[in-house]
């Protein structure tokens, strides 16, 4: 098991065997090494005014950023 802590302004996108699984965070995230890969999104860099978004709206924005961006969202603070 792999533990990762995400700050209040970070969210993680979990991929299991290369397929999108879920959006997680903030807090402690548990992943399985070799099966799961997590992309961390820094919300302050990616979205201005993200505090005013609803939970579901923010989740959809994060998913579209990571899945639709040709560079994987690197310019918005997405780290592998």
Question: Residues 53-80: pLDDT tens digits?
Answer: 888 888 888 888 887 766 655 554 555 5
Residue 28's pLDDT is what?
95
Residue matched to tokens 């890969």: 37
Of 4-13, 19-28, 61-70, the least confident: 61-70
Peptide bond into 26 cis (omega under 30): yes
Domain containing 64 equals 2-76
If one compares 25 and 69, the residue with the highest pLDDT of the two is: 25
Residues 6+ apart with CB under 8 A from 14: 20, 21, 22, 23, 24, 29, 31, 36, 37, 38
**What average pLDDT does the segment 23-32 reach?**
92
52 vs 26, higher pLDDT: 26
The span from the CA of 76 to the CA of 65, in Å, is: 9
Number of domains into which the chain is organized: 1
Q: When comparing pLDDT for 77 and 29, which is higher?
A: 29
Q: What is the pTM of this model?
A: 0.77
């Amino acid at each position: 098991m792999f533990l990762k802590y995400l700050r209040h302004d970070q969210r993680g996108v979990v991929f299991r065997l290369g397929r999108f699984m879920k959006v997680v965070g903030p807090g402690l995230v548990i992943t399985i090494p070799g099966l799961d890969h997590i992309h961390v999104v820094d919300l302050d860099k990616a979205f201005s005014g993200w505090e005013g978004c609803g939970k579901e709206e923010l989740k959809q924005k994060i998913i579209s950023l990571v899945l639709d961006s040709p560079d994987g969202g690197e310019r918005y603070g997405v780290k592998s």
